[in-house]
Each structure stands twice: as C-alpha cells, then as structure tokens.
Amino acid sequence: MARGTALFFGAFGVLNAVASLRGAGFGENVLWVDPRPLPEWLGQPLVAVAAALLLAWALRPHCRPWRLWATVGATSLLAAVALWNVVGFYWALASGGIEPQVPLPFSLVVVALMAWLVWMVRRPAPRRTPPVAALGIAAVAVVAALLFPLGLMLFFGTTRYERPSQAAVVLGAQVMRSGAPSASLADRVRTGAELYLDGLADVLVVSGGRGDGGRHECDAMRSYAEELGVPAAAIVEDREGVTTQASVDDTVALFRRDGIHRVLVVSQFYHLPRIKMAYQRAGIDVRTVPARADHFIKQTPYIVVREIPAFWLYYLRGLAG
C-alpha cells in the first residue's frame, strides 16, 4: 500500500517537475501540495526532490542510509508544507474568504499520507520485490490515480473561492431541445448571476456552443441571466466555447485583450479541478465557484466517474504539449 502510494505521488511529482522545466504554466504539483508559502527558489525544487526520492523508494525500498534519511527528511518537509496549506485553508475559512461544503482541505489528506510514508520508509525493507508484490504496488498506484481527481472534486471542487473580481465566467452545458437550459446549465447561470448581482463581478462571461435543439448555449444563458436581473450590457459572449479547453483558450484571449486579472469561474463541482488545471496551464490563476444546485441531478454519479478519465486526459495533453 505504502509503496503504491509513493509510486503514484512520486511519479506525478517528477513528471510535473520535468514538464515545468519546459516553461511557465505547468504547475500541476500545486494540485496536491502548494509550495508557494516558501521562496520560489526553494518551493518547487523541494517538491521535485521529495517526489524523486519517493519514486526511488517505491521502486527500490532497500537503500543506503543516506538515501533513506534523505527520503524521510524531504517527505517530512513536504508534510510540513502541506500542513501550512491546511493552516491557510482554515485561516481563509475563519476570515470568510472561502465557503467549503466539506470543512476539511485536501491538504489534510496529503499531510496524513506523507506522515504515513515517513513512518513506512523507516521500516526494514526487502532487498527484492517478488513479481506478485510488484503487481500489487502497481495496482495500488492505479487506484491512487483514480482517487486523486475524485478527492479534488470532493474537497476543492465543492469549495467556493469567491472574491471581488473583474469577470465571472460561466461555462456552457446542455440546452434542451425546447431551447430551455438544462438543470446543470441553469444552476451555473443562476450562480454566475448571483455573483454579478452581489457585486463580486463586473461582467458575466458566458461561454458555450450550439445546443441539441439548435439553440446556441450562449443564447440560452444570456436569456436566463437577463431574466435573473443581469443587464444585457454586462453580459459578454464566447460563442466558440464548444469544449472546456476551447472556453479556456477563448476567455484567456479575452482577459489578455481587456486587461482582466481577477476571474471567477462557475461550473459543477466535478468539473472545476479540470478547469482550474486548464486555466493555470494558460497562466491564469482563477478562483472557482461551484454551481449551487436546487435539487440533486440523477446523472451526477455517472458524470463524476466520467470526469476522472477526462481529468487525466487533460493532464496528459498538457504533459505532451
């Protein structure tokens, strides 16, 4: 179990560190531990070194004392940084800067896992790994890869990180054949409209493509937003947002053109980790706001499961590109 967990986090951290060397914008290590409280020259290298040592331990746990204690030390520092992230979460909660649905941060899970790995690394290790054990380690790593985006959805995705911003972006969803917005789309537009009407956004950006019945998602979103009280002049359309990545690319171009730096993005909780990753890769640090649902949508469990491979597909696209 421990070696499989270390294999996942070690490989993930090393891949992110290598990809970040190609240029700015690939900072996916922040998804599991945010080193930004540390100086820039120390934070990212610490995560990269700790990940490399965990990966080495997962593959070959029997090692010389210097590597053992280097792994213990680096992983302990990683746990300390994650613990500082936990403090930051509760500080923001106490000051009203965030509104979590789950009153626990994902960083707390990381702290527990890193502390467990520190304890396991110090235990006696076998010189050789039997084939059956190797398969078990690989299986645990695969399970960890499946649970990781799910954890982000449940902890990060359900937390409202709203703040006064220059724009609130609402991403499109299905429009019914009748031309009415689906329940998911209505929840997104309603939440975006609330942000505007509460004075948290100067403009409302709606991004989408053509709906099933021929009506464009932007038309349905604009119409509903106006019904909710958003002035027509405050609504900006991106009519080419046919996919999440297209919406991100189009709105980033809009932000850069108009000098917009503070942005809120609205979608369902399961969609937000992938959105955050895509914007971060484009160099925009957005704040995410999960859509408030009036009622449970029965397709949600299926969509959550579908979002797991979608998350990793977006990750791998960025890794390759």
Task: Tell whether 160 is covered by a domain.
Answer: no
Q: In the prediction, which pLDDT does 40 show?
A: 81
Q: In the prediction, which pLDDT does 217 show?
A: 96
How far is it, in rounded angstroms, from Cα 307 to Cα 270?
7
pTM of the complete model beyond 0.85: yes
Residues 151, 169: one domain?
Answer: no
**The dihedral formed by the CA atoms of 265, 268, 269 and 272, expressed in degrees to the nearest 10:** -40
Q: In the prediction, which pLDDT does 157 show?
A: 97
Domain range for residue 27?
2-155
Task: Domain count for the chain, please give it.
Answer: 2
Residues 142, 197: one domain?
Answer: no
Instruction: Write the DSSP assignment of 116-174 as a string of letters.
Output: HHHHHHTS---SS--HHHHHHHHHHHHHHHHHHHHHHHHHTTTSB----EEEEEEE---
Residues 133, 192: one domain?
Answer: no
Residues 13, 111: one domain?
Answer: yes
Residues 120, 84: one domain?
Answer: yes
Task: Tell whether 281 is covered by a domain.
Answer: yes
Point out the domain boundary residue: 155, 177, 212. 155
Strand-pairing partners, residue 170, are 206, 266
Point out the domain boundary residue: 101, 125, 155. 155
Residues 215, 293: one domain?
Answer: yes
What are the C-alpha distances in Å from 259 to residues 40, 123, 166, 288, 289? 25, 54, 9, 19, 22
- pLDDT lower than 70: segments of the chain: 23-26, 212-213, 321
Point out the domain boundary residue: 130, 155, 180. 155
Residues 150, 20: one domain?
Answer: yes
Q: In the prediction, which pLDDT does 142 show?
A: 98
Sign of CA dihedral 242, 245, 250, 251: positive
